[in-house]
Amino acid sequence: MSSSSKTPLALYIHWPFCRAKCPYCDFNSHVAQDIDHARFAAAYHREMAHMAAHYGAGRKLVSIFFGGGTPSLMPPSLVAGIVAEAERLFGLSDDVEITAEANPTSSEAAMFEGFHAAGVNRISLGVQSLRDEGLAFLGREHSADEARNAISAARQHFARVSIDLIYAQRGQTAAGWVNELREALDLGLTHMSLYQLTIEQGTVFHTRTRRGETLIPPDDQAAEMYEMTNDVMTDAGLPAYEISNHAAAGEACRHNLVYWRAQDWLGVGPGAHGRLTLPDGRLGLATRRSPAAWLEAVGESGHAIDIITEDGRADSVAEWLMMGLRLAEGVSMPAMEARFGSRASWLDETALNRLVESGMLENSDGQLRATPAGRLLLDGILADLMPA
């Protein structure tokens, strides 16, 4: 399979297990008692080898991201084996970013030490809240003190530590959230992912909502909290570089930038996704979601790729705009024209001018950007921008 070798290539590794299932979470995560780590290790290596041979085209990796699920439950030797095999199969760029997601309930110093020795150089810690009542509401199994301890343990081993927090929870006031955020900022971190709580299909929160409970504030209150979040974070020197992601200069997550810049990545593990640039569009890959089915398919065929899609030009334009407009940097019009031809053929200029006038978009220095207000209305903006 030929794919463009001009853009960076990243690798996503999905670890599908957690100690408990959180009531708000619809990620592909499962609670299992007996996990055959040796069998998983062999399967990750085989599927990586398949991806490298068929889709890697001799490209070095700029990033590896262990996501989940709860990757901090992986034995460090499993992580070390995957990193070493990725290096052998693809090669790693000199400044490769290797991130692992970690949960405070599995964040012992020995784990961080092992992950560091395995080559991980960035930790993304699922703190979710610095308030015990917020953690209880979210059904988390750790306390705020345990979360703080996990942050300090992570920082002893890693220069780059990010935390996730979830706001816009039932009963949370804007003032209470801002205080919590300021406490998080006092910890001196250089990256934070700040998510508004969303109610996802198939979760316990979804069932409770259907039964009549209200678990999130009204839209206008959530929007006010979003604006306050942006103001507090900007003042603190960690502006939003993406809708929910805030970082000090140079500290953005390079792996996630690959997604939002519509560059190329491969996904290995149960339910992992990949996307690659083709001469006339994009190739999408998705593996089997169920861990058991994934293991079986990899055992039989060397990979568990379940769905392969080929997107044409219009879908690729939509992906560039949709992903790029999430970013503060926006999308580069010259880069898009180099890829898709004159913009008259893929952009509705009248709609563009209207959206600029109404304060949803900015178009300067060749970059098209969504304003903070526009970033909340991207679906509608995209539908307007692309000629029917």
Ligand X SMILES: C[S@@+](CC[C@H](N)C(=O)[O-])C[C@H]1O[C@@H](n2cnc3c(N)ncnc32)[C@H](O)[C@@H]1O
Question: What ranges make up the beta strands (E) of the chain?
Answer: 9-15, 61-68, 92-102, 122-128, 160-167, 191-196, 240-242, 245-247, 264-268, 273-278, 281-287, 305-311, 331-332, 361-364, 367-370
Q: State the binding partner of 21 from ligand SF4, ligand X, none, CB within 5 to 8 A by kind.
A: ligand SF4
Neighbours of 186 (CB within 10 A): 9
Position 27 contacts ligand X (CB under 6 A): yes
Position 22 contacts ligand SF4 (CB under 6 A): yes
Phi-psi region of 252 (alpha: psi -120 to 50; beta: other; left: phi over 0): beta
d(CA 259, CA 156): 29
Q: State the binding partner of 130 from ligand SF4, ligand X, none, CB within 5 to 8 A by kind.
A: none
Strand 191-196 to 160-167 pairing = parallel
d(CA 264, CA 384): 27
Residue 142 or 261: which CB sits closer to ligand SF4?
142
Among 8, 16, 56, 68, binds ligand X (CB under 6 A): 68
Residue 260 or 320: which CB sits closer to ligand X?
260
In the window 97-156, what residues touch ligand X (CB under 6 A)? 101, 103, 126, 128
* H helix or E strand, kind and range, residue 271: none
Piece of 64-72, 115-123, 215-223, 305-313 that binds ligand SF4 (CB under 6 A) = 64-72
Residue 128 or 316: which CB sits closer to ligand X?
128
Please name the residue that has the structure tokens 């609670």: 31
Residue 11 or 25: which CB sits closer to ligand SF4?
25
Measured from the CB of residue 31, what is the shortest distance to ligand SF4 in angstroms?
8
d(CA 42, CA 299): 9
Residue 31 or 388: which CB sits closer to ligand X?
31
How far is C-alpha 208 from the geometric centre of its chain's CA atoms?
26
Q: Which amino acid is present at 371?
A: T
Measured from the CB of residue 172, what is the shortest distance to ligand SF4 in angstroms?
18
DSSP lists the bridge partners of residue 122 as 99, 160
Position 68 contacts ligand SF4 (CB under 6 A): yes
Measured from the CB of residue 53, what is the shortest distance to ligand X in angstroms?
29
Among 3, 29, 99, 229, binds ligand SF4 (CB under 6 A): 29
Q: Which residue, among 220, 142, 131, has the nearest Cα to 184 in the 3D structure?
A: 131
Among 166, 192, 322, 325, binds ligand X (CB under 6 A): 166
- Number of residues this chain uses to bind ligand SF4 (CB under 6 A): 11
Neighbours of 289 (CB within 10 A): 16
Position 217 contacts ligand X (CB under 6 A): no
Position 193 contacts ligand SF4 (CB under 6 A): no
Measured from the CB of residue 18, what is the shortest distance to ligand SF4 in angstroms?
3
Position 103 contacts ligand SF4 (CB under 6 A): yes
d(CA 122, CA 124): 7
Binding site residues, ligand SF4, CB under 6 A: 18, 21-22, 25, 27, 29, 68-70, 103, 126
Binding site residues, ligand X, CB under 6 A: 18, 24-25, 27, 67-68, 70, 101, 103, 126, 128, 164, 166, 195, 197-198, 200
